[in-house]
Amino acid sequence: MSTSDPSKLISKADKLTKLSLTRWSADWKSATVLYEQAANGFRVARNYEKAKLAFEKASQGQEMLSSPWDAAKHMESAAALAKELRNWAEVIDFYRKASELYMQCDRPQPASDALAKGARALEDALPDDAIQLYTDACVILEDDGKEQMAFDLYRAATSVYVKLEKYTDAAAFLLRLGLAADKCNARNSQCKAYLSAIIVYLYAHDLKQAEKCYNDCSQIDAFLGSDQNRCASKLLSAYTEGDVEEIKRVAQSSAISNLDNVIIKLARKLP
């Protein structure tokens, strides 16, 4: 069965699903099975284009059979193959469709996972779309109340922003991360997020913004009593005094070395 030519399987399945004079209703069940086999066969043969097509059709079949879960899974495989083919528009499409199907199953977590995978695939090629996908993924998780999972996504999105040198956006994202951390009582992550935001502002040579950000964050009790707070105040005072040595010394301190790698690089490059 699986050794027979996948293209033959596809044509057979197509025949099953095409409505014609002799066939009044499409036989999706057997067709889906055939499509899946064909897709696997193509994937093994590394015929990505055809495999992708087969997965698409298989997913469609599963939808018709009202099993959105399997449909979503097939969509994801199709999207992975599209990534191999570097067909970015299709990648976005497929991942979005997969995530919608997951939401139909009432499973927001795999939905956001799918979007995150898409975003990661697109980071190099289409960073803006990647950011869009990351934001959507975060929104899905927040709606579900599972902000904890969103931390990683926020951090990845910030790194993309920093790569694009959109520092204000990066800082805004970090503040959103802080907010999410606050909701889950994740003090350490929260303080780290705020410290990272301040560093990003300083890197963008925006002292006013940085100070404003620092003042805002000082309103929050958790940040006020933390290590990161002290480090931030040292950094800002070193900046206002224009003491390069002090800045470099604070950047080497342990509080900053515990942050994200991207942020550490920024900090080391200060002033």
One character per residue 149-178, x = contact with another protein (rule: CB under 8 A):
x-----------------------------
Contact region with another protein (CB under 8 A), list: 1-9, 36-44, 74-82, 141-149: 141-149
- Helix segments in the chain, DSSP class H: 6-17, 28-44, 48-64, 68-85, 88-104, 108-122, 127-144, 147-163, 167-183, 187-203, 207-218, 221-224, 227-241, 244-252, 254-257, 261-269
Q: Between residues 24 and 106, which has the closer beta carbon with respect to another protein?
A: 106
Contact region with another protein (CB under 8 A), list: 10-18, 88-96, 145-153, 215-223: 145-153
In the block, tokens 């993924």 appear at: 137
Q: Between residues 16 and 111, which has the closer beta carbon with respect to another protein?
A: 111
Q: How far is the CB of 267 from another protein (least distance, A)?
A: 15
Closest CA to 266 of 245, 240, 247: 247
Q: Are 17 and 28 in contact (CB under 8 A)?
A: yes
Q: Are 136 and 240 in contact (CB under 8 A)?
A: no
Q: Between residues 128 and 152, which has the closer beta carbon with respect to another protein?
A: 152
**What does the alpha-carbon distance between residue 160 and residue 123 come to, in Å, rounded to a whole number?**
7
Q: Between residues 208 and 221, which has the closer beta carbon with respect to another protein?
A: 221
Q: Between residues 138 and 255, which has the closer beta carbon with respect to another protein?
A: 255
| Binding of another protein by 258 (CB under 8 A) | yes
Q: How far is the CB of 146 from another protein (least distance, A)?
A: 8
Q: Are 175 and 194 in contact (CB under 8 A)?
A: yes
Residues that bind another protein (CB under 8 A): 146, 148-149, 184-189, 227, 254-255, 258
